[in-house]
A and B are shown apart, each in its own frame.
Chain A
Amino acid sequence: MLIERLMIGDPAAKEQLYDRYAGALYNIVLQLVPVKERANEVIVKVFLWSFQHIGTFRTSGHHTLFAWLLRKTREFAIKEALPETALAGTELMKQEDGILQQFYLMLPADQQQVFRLSYFKGLSITTIARLLALPEGQINEILKEAIKSFRQFLKKTWN
C-alpha cells in the first residue's frame, strides 16, 4: 500500500504519489489559480507539504489520499491566488473543462455567484454576504442548494 510506504518515508513511494496525483490536482489548481507559474508553485508546495505531513492523513478524516491532497491543494491555491483575483469580478478561469468548472456553468445565476466566491475564491459566508449586501442566512441557503446540486452532479456522472 502506498500510504504505508509513505509513512516510512520510502522515496520511491513519494515519486509514485506525485505521478499518480499531480495531473488530477493540477487540473483543479488551474481552475483556482489562473496564472500558470503560480499554479506550478502550488503543486510543488502541496507535494512537499504532503511528504512532511503524511502522518496527519490518518486523523484527517479522509479516506483517500486524493481527497486529503485536494483539501490542502485548494487551501494553498486560494492563498496563492488571493492577492490579485480575490475580489475582482468575473475574470475567466483558465481551465474551462475542469469538473468544477463544468458543474459551475450549469448552476443558476445566483448560485453561480455564491459558489464562485466560496469555492473558487475561498471567501467566507460572512465576506460573501457583505460583498453581495445580502443576509448571511440567505447566502448560506444559496450555497447549500449549490452543494446539493454538486452531489447530484457527482452521483449522476461519476458513480
Chain B
Amino acid sequence: MRNAVTIASTLLLLFVVQAASNSLQAASIEAPQLAQVKPATFRYWAAGEFTRAGKPVDAPQVEVRIRRLFSIMVHQVTVGEYRRCVADNACAPLADDSAKDNLPAVMVSWRDAQSYAAWLSRKLGAHYRLPTDEEWTYAAGSRAPDESPLGVGDAISRWVARYNRESKLQPSDPTPQPIGSFGANENGLLDIAGNVWEWTDTCFTRSVIEDGKPRAVTTNCGVRIAEGRHRAYISDFIRDARGGGCAVGLPPSNLGFRLVRDSKPYWWF
C-alpha cells in the first residue's frame, strides 16, 4: 500500500513538475489554434503505387479508421511562427527572408517540418507531428483532392489522363497568400488545397494487390506525400518542387505544412 502511494505520488509529482515547466516554456510562445478531429472511419483512395499480377493498376479505395482523437492546426504554420524556431536555432532559415509574418511558411522541406515539430513539441510540452496522409485527407474533407481512378485502360493513357486532370487543377496564381485567403472547409480548417501543398508523414509505398487486398512490398521513406490539389510524392529534402522533380509532372506550387497534436501528453513518448 505504501509502495503504491509512493509510486502514485511520484507520478503525481512528475506530472506537476512537467506541467509547471510546460507553463514556464509556454509563456514564451502561444499554442497554435487547433481543431479537434474525432475518431472516425472513412473511405480513402490508397496512396502509392499498386500492381496486380505484375501489371500496374489503379489504387484501391480502402476503409481507414482514425482511432485516436487528435487535433490539427487550423492554418498552415506561418512565416512568423516558423521564424521563432529559426531564432531558437532549431530550424534552418527560410529561403525568403523578407516574407511577411502572416503568410504560410513555404519552401519548407519535410525535414524542415520535422525540425519545427520537434521544437514546438519541446516548447509546448505536447506531441506535435505531421499528419499521416489518411489524417490529412480526412481533415481536408470536401477539399481533399480527387484521387479516384482515371477510368482509362493502360498505364500510358492513365499518365496522360492524370496530366490532364492536374493541368485543370493547377493554381492560376502560385504566389503565397495571407492565411485564410482560400477560405475554410467544413471542419473549420483554412486554406486546404489552396496553392500550398502540405507535407504528410506518409512514405512512398509500392503495394501488390492479392486476393483483392493491398499488401505493401516496398517503402521508400526518402519520399513523402505532399497533399494539395493533387497528391504529390516528393523527396524529403526538397524545399522547392517546381524545378520539376520529374521531367513531366505538374509540381506543387509551394511546399508548406500544418501539424497535428496527439492527445497523449508529451512525456508519454
Partners in one complex: no
- What residues make up the interface of A, taking CB atoms closer than 8 Å to B? none
